[in-house]
Structure 1
C-alpha cells in the first residue's frame, strides 16, 4: 500500500474512532459515514473496494417498477449532461436501494469509469461501497459532495461525486441522481458548481414527477418571483376540490414540518389549504381562473411569508356544478379503523369513503358530512371519532334542528349562574366545552340560526367559547364534524347560511351515498339484524323470501327506514326468524301474506289550501312544495310528517315558518 493510501486509512480510522459529529456541515456528514462504515458495517478502509454488480434481471425489475420515474428522470439527465459533458463527468441514476438503473457516460474515460464501478447494475449502498456519494446520500437524505479523500476506501479516492436525493410526491425516496468525475483537485469546493447543477436538475426531476403524478388534481404553485411562477415553483401543493391537501413537493414538505405544532404536524395529506394560508378558498379559485401571471395573487402563508401563486387546473375533470369538481379518484389504501370498517361491506363508494375518512380522522381539520336523511351521517361521524386518536375523549352530538331556537345558544355555549330566569343556580357547561379534546358533531347544521352561526364561526377561528353572562372566554380544542342533508351552497345563495362558516366547516367534505346507490344491502341487513337481535334477545334469522322483498325496496328513508323495518320484523317474528308477513306493510305490499297497504287520505282540494303569502307565492322552492304536499296528505298532522321524513317536529315547524306555509287550523279553516 502506498504512503498516500496509508495516510488516508489512518485519517479515516482516527475520525471513525472519535465522537460522532451531530452538525450538518460537509465534513460532519462524511465523518458520520466513516463512523457507520467502521462500527456498524464492519468495513476496513485498508481493503480494496471491488464493485458489487447486481444481475441484469434485478436491474430490469427495478426499471420496470419505476418506469414513469425513469422517463422523467432520463429527460432531466440528458439536459444536465449537455452542461457537463465537456468537463469529463458521467451521470448515474439509482433506485432507492442504491443500484444504478440508468447511466450516461463519457467516452474519454469509459474504461476508468467501469473500473470505479460507474455503470449499470452497480450497487452503491453504504454498507457495501463504504462512504460514497450515492450510499451516503441515501443514508443522510440530503445533497452532498463526496470528493476524493472523503471516500471510505482508499482506492476510491480518485473519484469526485456530487449527489442529490430524489423524492416521490408521497415523500418516499425514489433514488439518487449522481454526477461523477475523476478527482482533479484536492479541494472539495472545486465541485461546488457540479453540486449546484445536480441539485437544480434533481429538483426539476422531482417537480416534473410531481406534476405528472397529480395531473388529474388541482396544483398550487408558489414562487418568490412573479415572472417565473408559471414556469417553476419554490413549492408545489396538490389538493382536491374541497381544498384538502393530497400531496406536497419536497420543499413544501420541509416547510410544513417547520410550522408550529398547532398548525402543522409531520403528516401532509388531509390538511386543509386554509390552515396554511391567510386567505379563503375563493381566493384560490380566482387564481385558477386568472388568464396570466400578471393577475395572480401574492398569497400570505401562516408564517407571514408571501409567494406569488398560480393554480394548475386538472387535465381531466368530471362534469359537475362549477369549477370545483374534479375527476374522482379512490383514496389510497390506508388501515381503516374497526368502527369505520364495520359500516360497509364490499360497496366501492363506501370503501373509498372509509379510506378517505380514516386519513382525515387524526388531522386537525373540520369535516362536513352530506347525505340524504337517514343515510347514517351521525353513525358515520361516531365511527370516525372511534377510529381516531380522540376515541377516549368525548363525542358530543348536537341536533341543531331538534333544539328549540330559544335554547340553542345556552345549550351550545353554556351560561354562568344567574344569567337568566330559570337557569341553573350554578350555571351550565355548554356542549362545545363538553366536547373539549374530542369531537363535536353538529347535525343538521343548515338549520342553525344566522346569529348563532356568527358565534360558532368565532369558536372555530379563535378556539374560544364565551358562555352567556361570562366575561372571560374558555379555551377549547376540538374537531368539529358537521352534517346536513341540504345543499349548503344553495343556503349560502339564499342568505340563510354564512359562506365563511361553510369554509371553516368543510375542511373536507364526505358525501354519504343513499342506500339505493349502495351494493352492500345484504351486508347491512345482516349487520343490523345482528345488532338489533342481540339487543332484543331474539334470533336474527331472515327467510330468503323476506330478503328478496327487502332487495326490491327503493328505501327512500335510507338506512333509518331499513333499521326500523328490521326492528318491526324482529318484534313480530318467532324462533324461525323474519318472514315476509313480519315486514312492515309498505315493504310487503303485493306479497301473498302481506298486510293490507295503508293508503294516505286524499289531499285536500286546491281550493281549500290557504294561499301562501305574496312573497312566497312568486318563487317557492321545490322542497316547499313537497313539504306542503306531505302536510296535506297527512291531514296537517305534524307528528306524522316528521316520522315520514325522519325529522323532528321542531324542524317541520321551522320549515313551515321559513316557506310561509300556514295550516288550515291556523288560517281559520277546517280540513276536509
Structure 2
C-alpha cells in the first residue's frame, strides 16, 4: 500500500503513454529474458509482468479462473449487495459517458470477481470470449496483467492498453480501473471501464477515478453517528463535492478518512488511530456548521465541522437542514458497536440522572474502565431536554498538558505564539446550550481545577489573552475511573470542586457483578455475528466459561475476546472451551473449589490480570497471522480490528524482542 493515498484524480503517472510499437518491443525483450528499460513501459505494468512471470504464467497461457456456478455467484453477489446498490448510479453514469466508445462498465468485488457489467452488447459479446463477464475472477494471479487485477494489487488506479496485457488473448482490450476504498482504507471493490484496444480511450482512467471517488464520498453519509466529521479543502468551492477532504474524529482521535483528505495532508492510511486533531490542525474542532480557515502543515484550508447523529446538524449552505428532522433515504444500516446495555438498576439511575441534569444538578459517573461511562453520559444527553443541542466530550487525560487551558477556555488573537489570527472559542463555549462531558476528570491538573471551579460558579468563560468574559450555559456531566474521594484525601483533587461536580454520583457496576451474564454473552455474540445464517455458535460450556470469567477490562475486554473467537471460527462451527484463548482456559483451571479472591485494590492481582489480557491478545494475534499466512490485512479483518491497530501490536511485540 502506498504511504500517501492517490488523490481523486491523478492519472498521468499510472496510465501508459508508450506507443504500440514500443510496447511490442518491450514484450519481446521481457519474454526473451532481456532487461526492459524503465521508460519503455509504465512502472505498474512492468511490475505486474514481473509478478506474473514469477508465478509461472506464460503470455499464451489460458486464464486459470473458472466461472462460478450459478449458486456460488448468487451468494457472492448477495454478499456485496450494499456495494452494488451504492455503485449503480456510477455504473449508469460511466456507461452514458462512454457509450460512444463501444465500451462496458464493470464492478468487481475486492478479489476481482466481476459482479456487474453495463454497456455495449456488441462489445460485451466480444469481451465474453476472453471471459470478461459476471461470475469470472480477473485477479492478476489468475488472469495476468489486466487493469482490474493489477489495480487491486497496486491499490491505485491503473490503465492497461492492448499489448500491455500479459496474456496475448487479452490484447483486444483497453481497460482502466480504480479501486474503491472504505473510510478505513480497506478495499471493498473496483470500477473498470473496458473497450476495444483499437479505439482510443483518452479519458477512461479519469472517468473511473471520478466515479470511484463519488462512491467513496457517499460512504460517509450517516455512517458515523455521534462522531465529528471534518470536511475541508484549500478551495472552498470544493466543499460538498467528492474532491473535499473528509476526516472522522472520535474524541479528537482520527478513526476514518477519505483519500482526498489524507492526500491533502500528506498522510497515508496508517494515520488512522495514530493521529489526533491537534497533530493535523491548529486549534480545536470548532462549532458544527461553522466554516473557518485553519492552518495545516501544508498551508491554510477552509474547514467545516459536522457532528453526525444529532437532530440539529448544520450542513453546507448548498443543502440547508430542514427545521424538522426528515427520515434518511434507505441505505445499508451501520451496525452499532456492541457494548453495555444497562440493567434495571442502572436504568433507574439513568432516569434519575436525566431528571437531575434537567434541574441543573451536576452528575458524576464513577466505575471501572470499560463499564460504559461515556455511553451512560450520551444516553443522558439523548433522553434529556438538551438532546437537540451539542454534546461536547472532553477527555481530560488525553489533552496535552500545555494546551489544556487553550483547548477548554479558548484564546484571543495573539494570546501566545502560534495562536490563530482569529482566536479560538474553546470547548466550553462549544458546549453552550448542550451537555459538557468531562471524562477522566480525576486526571485534570490542580491549577486547571481552580479555573474550572470558577467557570462552574460564575457560568462565564474568560479566554486566554485577557478577553472579555462570555456567558455559557451547559449541563455538566463528569466521569472518572479513579476514586475522587481518595484523590481529595490525598490532596490531588480540590475538595470544593469535588463537592461541586458530585452532587449526584452514579456508580456503574463492573461486568463481573452483573446477573445473567450468559444472557449478556449471547446478546453480544449475536450482535457481532449479525444476520448470518452460518455464523459460529457457542457451546453451553463455552458460554458458562465466558460468563464466569473475571473480566478486569469489563465490556471492552469481553467484546474484544468475542471478536477474536468469531473471527477465527469456521462458519457453522460450535465453539467449545478448548477454543477459548489459552489464558482464559488457564484461569478457569486455576479456580479451585474454594478460591481466595484478591482483596479490592490489590495491585498485584490487577497487574496479573493485565498481563493475562496481554498474553491473550498476543496469542490470538499470532493465531490469526498463522491462519492468514502472514497477511496482516486479512488477519486484521478476521480479528475485527483496524490494520493500523494490528501493526501497532506487532511493533510492540517487536520492541519486546518477539516475546
TM-score computed with the length of structure 2 as normaliser? 0.48
Q: Taking CA–CA contacts closer than 8 Å with sequence separation of 6 or more, which of the two structures ends up with the larger relative contact order?
A: 2
